[in-house]
């Protein structure tokens, strides 16, 4: 399987490390550190993940190349990658 690094081009899967879901936002810092709701939000952020079937935005790290992080839109059933982009840019392709 080849993954297209936005900076290095097509490279073998073995050069990359999957880093997680690109759609999950870190909970904001609470105004009151004793806020119990923040504990629940943090628990959901760390432990609860969807297991989507279809197109999904992910974070990847080119560990054996440029060492940069980037986003990829990958189909979780076929493993086809529709697009990759730097973290600051939007992804295109796929049915998202």
Per-residue model confidence as pLDDT tens digits over 21-78: 999 888 888 777 777 677 788 888 888 888 889 999 999 999 999 999 999 999 999 9
pLDDT score for 60 = 98
CB 60 within 8 A of CB 18: yes
Q: What is the pTM of this model?
A: 0.83
Question: Which is nearest to 58 in space by CA: 14, 15, 7, 20?
Answer: 20
Domains observed in the chain? 2-25+36-86 (3.30.2270.10)
58, 3 Cβ separation under 8 angstroms: no
């Amino acid at each position: 399987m080849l993954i297209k690094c936005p900076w290095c081009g097509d490279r073998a899967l073995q050069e990359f490390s999957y880093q997680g879901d690109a759609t999950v936002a870190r909970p904001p810092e609470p105004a009151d550190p004793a806020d119990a709701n923040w504990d629940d939000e943090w628990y959901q952020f760390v432990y609860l993940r969807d297991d989507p079937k279809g197109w999904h935005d992910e974070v990847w790290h080119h560990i054996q190349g440029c060492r940069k992080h980037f986003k990829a839109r990958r189909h979780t059933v076929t493993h086809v990658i529709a697009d990759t982009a730097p973290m600051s840019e939007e992804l295109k392709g796929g049915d998202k």
